[in-house]
Chains A and B, each alone.
Chain A
Amino acid sequence: MESFSLILAIVVVTALAFDFTNGFHDTANAMATTISTGALKPKVAVAMSAVLNLVGAFLSVEVANTISKGLVDETGIRPEVIFAALVGAILWNLLTWLVGLPSSSSHALMGGLIGAAVASAGIGAVNGDVLVTKVLLPAIAAPIVAGVAAMLASRMTYSLGRKADGKAAAKGYRAGQIASAGLVSLAHGTNDAQKTMGIITLALIAGGSLAPDSDPPVWVILGAGLAIALGTYLGGWRIIRTMGKGLTDLQPQQGFAAQTSAATVILASSHLGFSLSTTHSVSGAVMGAGLGRKGGVVRWSTATRMFVAWGLTLPAAALVAALAEWVCRLGDWGTALVAVFLVASSFAIWRISRREIVDHTNVVDDDTVGAAEPAGVVTTAMAAVSPPPAGVTEDLAATVPAPATTPDPKAPSAATTV
Chain B
Amino acid sequence: MSIDWAALGSVFGVSLVATVALVGLFTLGIVGLSRQERAAAEGGSAALAVTGAYACFAACTAAVGYGIYLIVA
Contacts and interface: CB of A to CB of B under 8 A. Distances in A.
Interface of A: 56, 59-60, 128-129, 132-133, 137, 141, 145-146, 148-150, 152-154, 156-157, 160-161, 163-169, 172-173, 176, 179-180, 183, 186-187, 190, 256-257, 260-261, 263-265, 267-269, 271-274, 276
B27 interface: yes
A113 to B, nearest CB: 21
Given A133-B1, A133-B4, A149 B27 contact: no
Interface residues on B, range: 35 or more
Interface of B: 1-4, 7-8, 10-12, 14-16, 18-20, 22-24, 26-31, 33-38, 60, 64, 67-68, 70-73
27 contacts: A56-B71, A128-B1, A132-B1, A132-B3, A149-B20, A152-B16, A152-B19, A153-B19, A154-B23, A156-B24, A156-B27, A160-B24, A161-B27, A164-B33, A166-B37, A179-B60, A183-B67, A183-B68, A256-B26, A260-B22, A263-B67, A265-B11, A268-B11, A269-B15, A272-B10, A274-B8, A276-B11
Contacts of B64: 179-180, 183
Contacts, number: 137
Contacts of B31: 160-161, 163-164
B33 A160 contact: no
SS of A interface (majority): helix
Given A133-B4, A168-B36, 17 more contacts: A128-B1, A133-B2, A149-B15, A157-B26, A160-B27, A161-B31, A163-B35, A164-B27, A165-B34, A166-B34, A179-B60, A183-B71, A267-B71, A268-B14, A272-B10, A274-B8, A276-B11
B24 to A, nearest CB: 5
A187 B26 CA distance: 22
A276 B23 CA distance: 21
A164 to B, nearest CB: 4
Contacts of A156: 20, 23-24, 27
Given A132-B1, A186-B68, A274 B11 contact: yes
A137 to B, nearest CB: 6
A322 to B, nearest CB: 24
Contacts of B14: 264, 268, 272
Given A156-B23, A269-B11, A186 B16 contact: no
Contacts of A269: 11, 15
A150 B23 CA distance: 9
A166 B36 CA distance: 11
